[in-house]
């Protein structure tokens, strides 16, 4: 077999291997970064490195996961990303899951907004260790090489990451039916300005996060919150006030975002904001209001 033929066969194998792992790589980058465009950039760079490598990879999956993880850690270490990550009002970009598009349900498993917000609270190293160990089944020795630490340090990071999200894990257990029911009741009470019903739906420790982007947004003379609002009473009052000021004038569309029932608001047909919830035990514990237009373009 001549060199050109062998090279063509090798390129075909590389492409087939890549297509097998690409959805998982995109899921990893999205969980690490919370931003679709940046995740796609990391995966595209991984493709370039995959096709340009000088040696065969004994384990292509491990090789590609390692490349994407390093790229994401480098991205999160940039000055721009550090500034973005430090925002207390930052919310990940919502995505629509389907069986054939960019994000496939069977590949991503759980990418609920609640989970992504939990991951965002972790340091980049904690995030990487948690995903590599618990999702991609990497051992601590391999993880340590990836993040530039020792295996005991990797174990410590995993322990800390699990501890930091343990209290919030209840938000991942609600059924789709419970989620849909609470969303419907919440929207109805908000549009009617029914403060009592809102209080009945919210858990005592409810938290509202509104993301208007790096520069914030002002709508109907009302500026988005720049920090999370805590407590059922304060959240209910805020929601009631905002609804009275103009939410009723927006077009509303029920959507499935990040694998959970959600509400998309439109103005003149264009995405305006997305409402997502974190629910558990029959109550709403988290209200996520994504109003950063740059993170709604793909919906």
Same domain, 142 and 239: no
Q: Which of 113, 136, 167 is the last residue of a domain?
A: 167
Residues 161 and 262 in one domain: no
- Report pLDDT digits (tens) over 194-242: 999 999 999 999 999 999 888 887 766 667 788 899 999 999 999 988 8
| Residue 138, domain CATH | 1.20.140.160
Question: What does the mean pLDDT of the chain come to?
Answer: 87
Confidence (pLDDT) at 82: 77
**Is residue 8 in a domain?**
yes
DSSP state string for 209-278: EEE--TT--EETTEEPPSS-EESHHHHHHHHHHHHHHTGGGSEEEEEEETTEEEEEEEETTEEEEEEEEE
Q: What is the pLDDT of residues 111-163, one digit of tens each?
A: 889 999 999 999 999 999 999 999 899 999 999 999 999 999 999 999 999 99
The pLDDT value given to residue 145: 92
Residues 150 and 190 reside in one and the same domain: no
Report how far residue 108's alpha carbon sits from residue 31's, in angstroms, rounded to the nearest whole number. 9
What pLDDT, on the 0 to 100 scale, is given for residue 8? 62
Q: Is residue 107 part of a domain?
A: no
Looking at the structure, tell me whether residues 62 and 155 fall in a common domain: yes
Residues 129 and 206 in one domain: no
Write the pLDDT tens digit of every residue in 27-40: 899 999 999 899 99
Question: Do both 246 and 127 map to the same domain?
Answer: no
pLDDT reported for residue 56: 84
In a domain, 114, yes or no: no
Name the band, by pLDDT with cuts 50, 70 and 90, for residue 174.
Answer: confident
CB 68 within 8 A of CB 33: no
Q: Which of helix, strand or coil describes residue 289?
A: strand
Distance CA 29, CA 11 (A): 24
71 with 217, same domain: the answer is no
Domain boundary among 167, 196, 222: 167
Q: What is the tens place of the pLDDT at every residue in 64-105? A: 999 999 999 999 988 677 777 777 788 999 998 764 455 554
pLDDT of residue 55: 84
Model confidence at 259, pLDDT cuts 50, 70, 90, reads confident
209 close to 184: Cβ distance less than 8 angstroms: no
Taking the model in full, what pTM does it have?
A: 0.88
Q: Do 183 and 289 belong to one domain?
A: yes
Where among 109, 133, 167 does a domain terminate?
167
Model pLDDT, residue 177: 92
- pLDDT score at 2: 44
Would 72 be classed as within a structural domain?
Answer: yes
Domain membership of residue 149 as a residue range: 3-88+122-167
The answer to whether residue 9 scores a pLDDT higher than 60 is: no
Question: Is 73 part of any domain?
Answer: yes
- 3 has a pLDDT exceeding 60: no
Within a domain: 275: yes
Tell me the C-alpha to C-alpha distance, in Å, between residue 31 and each of 25, 103, 154, 155. 10, 12, 19, 20
Check whether residue 84 and residue 64 sit in a common domain: yes
Q: Are residues 267 and 132 in the same domain?
A: no
pLDDT at residue 281 above 80? yes
Same domain for 146 and 28: yes
pLDDT tens column, 62-72: 999 999 999 99
234 and 143 co-located in one domain: no
117 domain-assigned: no
Beta bridge partners of 209: 288
Q: Percent of the chain scored above 70 by pLDDT?
A: 90
Is residue 116 a part of any domain in this protein? no
How much is the average pLDDT of 15-38? Answer: 92
Domain count, the chain: 2
Place of tokens 């297509």: 19
Give the pLDDT score at 104: 55
Q: Indicate which CATH number applies to the domain containing 268.
A: 3.10.450.50
């Amino acid at each position: 077999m001549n060199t050109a033929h062998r090279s063509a066969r090798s390129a075909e194998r590389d492409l087939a291997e890549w297509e097998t792992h690409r959805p998982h790589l995109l899921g990893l980058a999205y969980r690490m970064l919370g931003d679709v465009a940046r995740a796609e950039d990391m995966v595209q760079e991984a493709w370039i490195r995959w096709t340009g490598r000088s040696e065969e990879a004994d384990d292509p999956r491990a090789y590609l996961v390692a490349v994407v993880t390093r790229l994401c850690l480098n991205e999160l270490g940039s000055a721009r990303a550090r500034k973005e990550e430090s925002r207390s009002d930052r919310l990940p970009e919502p995505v629509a899951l389907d069986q054939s598009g960019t994000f496939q349900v069977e590949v991503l498993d759980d990418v609920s907004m609640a989970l992504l917000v939990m991951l965002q609270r972790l340091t980049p190293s904690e995030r990487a260790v948690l995903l590599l160990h618990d999702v991609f089944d990497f051992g601590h020795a391999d993880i340590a090489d990836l993040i530039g630490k020792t295996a005991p340090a990797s174990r410590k990071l995993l322990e800390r990451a699990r501890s930091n999200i343990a209290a919030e894990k209840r938000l991942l257990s609600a059924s789709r039916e419970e989620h849909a029911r609470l969303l419907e009741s919440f929207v109805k009470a908000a549009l009617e300005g029914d403060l009592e019903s809102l209080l009945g739906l919210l858990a005592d420790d409810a938290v509202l996060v509104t993301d208007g982007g790096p520069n914030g947004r002002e709508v109907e003379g009302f500026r988005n919150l720049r920090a999370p609002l805590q407590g059922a009473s304060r959240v209910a009052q805020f929601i009631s006030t905002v609804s009275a000021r103009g939410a009723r004038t927006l077009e509303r569309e029920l959507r499935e975002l990040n694998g959970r029932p959600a509400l998309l608001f439109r103005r003149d047909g264009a995405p305006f904001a997305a409402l997502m919830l974190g629910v558990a035990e029959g109550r709403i514990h988290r209200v996520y209001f994504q109003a950063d237009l740059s993170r709604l373009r793909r919906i």
